[in-house]
Chain A
Amino acid sequence: MAYDKFNIVTSTAVPLPIENVDTDQIIPARFLKATERKGFGDNLFRDWRYHNDNTQKEDFILNNPTYSGKILVGGKNFGSGSSREHAAWAVYDYGFRCVVSSFFADIFKGNCLNIGVLPVQVSPEFLEKIFEAIDTNPDTEIEVNLPQQTITIKTSGESESFDINSYKKENMLNGYDDIDYLTKIKSEIQKFATTRPF
């Protein structure tokens, strides 16, 4: 599943200052019944976005036209819970290319990197600054610069660098995923397989 290359994304951002946002909130299990990867963005944060009768919950951030953009900023321990890649698909399909938080759950982070959503882990202090900047001015732009590995609040110029391993970075810059890599070394894998006892 190829995805669009990621280089520099400059955009306004949607703040979600809640901790431990789990994958059941990002996409509830009842929306996992598709056999194709289609339409998951519509059900992103489904139960926070809509009432049972499918009318919008006015107070949820995604229903507030003041906030939009390609960057989602979440509280600590974002993406905990299940391994469903559907959560990352929903984030991507909705239109986010980047999730910023002070801490990510492992599987969610790996899933994001595999499908073209960049997880940017910042310090708790910097996360607070981003929330404050957006709170003061919802039009605040955030620049996520993958080649430089920096994230910058454009209005104040405040910036922080973030980590990503060079293999994943290369992948994101080129729109490659792990399957591309693995299929290239298949004969090496087959040789290895003959050494396994079971």
Chain B
Amino acid sequence: MSKTLFDKVWDSHVVRNIENGPDVFFIDRHFIHEVTSPVAFLGIKSRGNTVLYPDRTFATADHNTPTINQHLPVEDPLSANQLKALEENAAEWGISHWGLGHQKNGIVHVVGPENGITLPGATIVCGDSHTSTHGAFGAIAFGIGTSEVEMVLSTQCIMQPKPKKMRINVNGELGFGVTPKDVALYIISQLSTSGATGYFVEYAGDVFSNMTMEGRMTVCNLSIEMGARGGMIAPDEKTFEYIKGRPLTPKGEAWDTAMEYWQTLKTDEDAVFDKELTFNGADIEPMITYGTNPGMGIGITNHIPDASNVEGGVATYKKSLGYMDFNEGDAMIGKPVDYVFLGSCTNGRIEDFRAFASIIKGKKKAENITAWLVPGSHEVEELIKEEGILDIITQAGFTLREPGCSACLAMNADKIPAGKLAVSTSNRNFEGRQGPGSRTLLASPLVAAATAVTGVVTDPRTLLEEVIN
């Protein structure tokens, strides 16, 4: 029978199928971090279980780590306590641990691929919903809850009903100044935040084949924001090129055997999806959100829609605009901004810093802007220095922070103050996500850069033209 890419990977990991129930689903690779793992380790102890395969789990500290002065003790006692718990649990069970200060430390979804832990055809889970990032490599990757973290630690399996399958095709060419982040925000705006709930998505079409691995990671990362369990892209030469030679990828003969298998990881021609959607890449503009969920996004030159033109509850829509202190019909361009955040597992990779630098080069940070530029990992930080991006950043009046999740979820000290407006390259604009009372506009690194130098929401194409001319 013809199978989709998703079927091939899923079916090969089913240990047992329960009638009218979930599948017992085997997990190849498991990431843990300080926030969602401590209670799982307690559970293991209280049930008298052990960690079954410690070498299939990888620990990194990222969610509540500080992004300045990482060499000093962590000030917040609660955060320090979680970091210590992670370190102790990892040591007790023999799990590799890239804690604060470790040269491989960084955001879990950035360091996984960098180190070759993420492989095509693998199943990958983590107690963080943006685990979908790893789908960029043709893996099945998704976020799980703490009970499931405990399941994976003690049995290497979770119990999951097989999701339905959706294919999203984006064909044609992307316009000038349009990035993978814009493609993702565009798709979410078309589907809404629940449009893909119950589905696992495969992204296909020229736009994704032409995308870099970093770009594919950004797209897959945001799959969860339309409700999907995860998203994936069939591995191709770019994928193999990216993973080859990374510290934990198979080597020698093992590589050749793996390659043989990986070449088969594509959707068969006549395979059927439960739902299929097709978009045209040329229709996509640089995007920005204006409300309190990632589905509330528009092309940056557009105006905030009237309540009468949006699907769903008018009261919820108005509440959302009320929180943002915006009005129906407002233009987005020109809105004064207070903060700019470049970073997160969505846009904290080297390519994102290159994009940011391409705009700010030779310009100056706007006075009204506080900017937090946070690399996704030490490896990204190193590349920023090597490629001369740090100089560009510094000359433009910005500083570079140390790696971590930072203002993506504001668990550390990087909180946007109440009422302040931030252009953020992260993934969620929920009420208070970036700090109590904070207001978030999600956008690409190009939009963030253009805004950082002008002080108001700015279409990056206007500045890019200057650069090119």
B79 contacts A167, CB within 8 Å?
no
Q: How far is the CA of A165 from the CA of B254 in the complex (A)?
A: 40
Using Cβ atoms and an 8 Å threshold, which residues of chain B touch A32?
A: 35-36, 63, 411
User: Contacting A20 at CB < 8 Å: which of B16, B49, B156, B316?
Assistant: B316
Nearest residue (CB) in B for A168 is B21
Per-residue 0/1 for B1-30: is the Cβ within 8 Å of any A Cβ (1 yes, 0 no)?
A: 000000000000001101111101010100
Total A-B contacts with CB atoms under 8 angstroms apart: 203
A106 interface residue (CB < 8 Å to B): yes
The segment from B122-130, B349-357, B371-379, B446-454 that touches chain A is B122-130
B431 interface residue (CB < 8 Å to A): yes
A178 interface residue (CB < 8 Å to B): yes
Using Cβ atoms and an 8 Å threshold, which residues of chain A touch B201?
A: none
Nearest residue (CB) in B for A32 is B35
A185 contacts B24, CB within 8 Å?
yes
A107 contacts B43, CB within 8 Å?
no
A residues 59-110 near B (Cβ < 8 Å) are 75-77, 80-86, 88, 103-107, 110
A41 → B minimal CB distance (Å): 15
**Number of contacting residues on A, CB 8 A?**
59
* Given A33-B79, A35-B38, A83-B127, A183 and B154 contact (CB-CB distance below 8 Å): yes
The segment from A22-30, A140-148, A151-159 that touches chain B is A22-30
Per-residue 0/1 for B299-338: is the Cβ within 8 Å of any A Cβ (1 yes, 0 no)?
A: 0000000000000110110010000000000000000000
User: Contacting A196 at CB < 8 Å: which of B26, B47, B148?
Assistant: B26
User: Contacting B312 at CB < 8 Å: which of A33, A76, A196?
Assistant: A76
A125 interface residue (CB < 8 Å to B): no
User: Contacting A36 at CB < 8 Å: which of B39, B128, B151?
Assistant: B39
19 CB-based A-B contacts, threshold 8 Å: A17-B315, A20-B293, A24-B409, A24-B428, A30-B410, A33-B76, A33-B78, A33-B79, A47-B431, A47-B432, A52-B436, A77-B197, A84-B127, A86-B146, A165-B22, A189-B24, A189-B157, A190-B52, A193-B26
Closest 6 CB pairs of A and B: A167-B21, A85-B145, A83-B143, A33-B78, A35-B38, A111-B145
